[in-house]
Each structure stands twice: as C-alpha cells, then as structure tokens.
A = this chain, B = another copy of it.
Amino acid sequence: MSESSWTPQDLVSRSQEAKGFSYSPYSSFRVGAALLTTDQQLYTGCNVENACNNLGICAERTAICKAVSEGHRSFKAIAVASDMMDHYISPCGGCRQFMREFGLQWDVYLSKPDGSFIKKTVEELLPVSFGPEDLRRKKAVPASENSL
C-alpha cells in the first residue's frame, strides 16, 4: 500500500484483525491495536495476558514495542479495538503514558466492533501529564544527595 494511503478506517480494520491473535485466557477480554508511524509503516498488536495478571501487556503497548524494536519512534496514529458492542474501547492509563513517551500530538482512534470510532489526541487522553521533560527539571534537592 503506497504512502498516505492509510485511512483511519483502515487502521480500525487492522486493529480488529489484530484482536484475533489476543492471548487473553484469564479475562476473555480481547483487544487489538494498529499503529501508524509517521513514515507510513503499520504495526499491529494484541493483549498478551499472564497467569500473574499484572505481568501481562496491553495491545497498544505491544504495537508500540514492535515498532520501536524495528527502528520507529515517531507515530501518527493508533487504533484500538475490542469486543464491546456498544462502547468505544479506550486505552488504559498505562498505555496512555506509554504513548505519551513518543509525543502528545498524535491520534488515538477508539473503536466499536461495527467499525465506528471516535478520535482523541494523546494529550486529550492524558492531560497535565508527567513526561520525559520532568526528569530533567531543576530539583530542590541535588540528585547526589538522595542516591544510595
């Protein structure tokens, strides 16, 4: 598919396909994601659960890790899909923070199984956010004093 040919609807469709690979034996809550890089590469992801539930990984983070591990760090949009019939699936706070690491001004499509969706920016989903800049700000106490 040539550059600029990905529509939001395409992303939603791909996120729905990705949902099919979900490994979610514990919640039976399948989620899929489709991430578009600024240079028009597409990466999909699904949730991967674990018997120790807090060690699982969400679909959105799976997609972003895939892209980063192939050399991409600049993203244009991500679509998210679930099986909830009448409700747009929205990313958890952990995924919002994971997205925010790579910028505040890119798009998140929250979809329903019928393909309808609403669009939010990362910043709209994570206002007043903590981010990479905060780690470089001037501190009241020098780092050297509180490291072990």
Contacts and interface: CB of A to CB of B under 8 A. Distances in A.
Contact of A137 (B84, B125, B129, B140): B84
Given A53-B27, A120-B128, A21 B134 contact: no
Given A98-B55, A101-B51, A69 B84 contact: no
Interface residues of A, number: 79
B90 A128 contact: yes
Contacts of A87: 134, 137
Nearest to A50: B101
Contacts of A100: 93
A135 to B, nearest CB: 6
Interface of A: 18, 21-30, 44-46, 48-59, 61-66, 68-71, 73, 83-98, 100-101, 110, 113, 120, 124-132, 134-135, 137-141, 143-144, 146-148
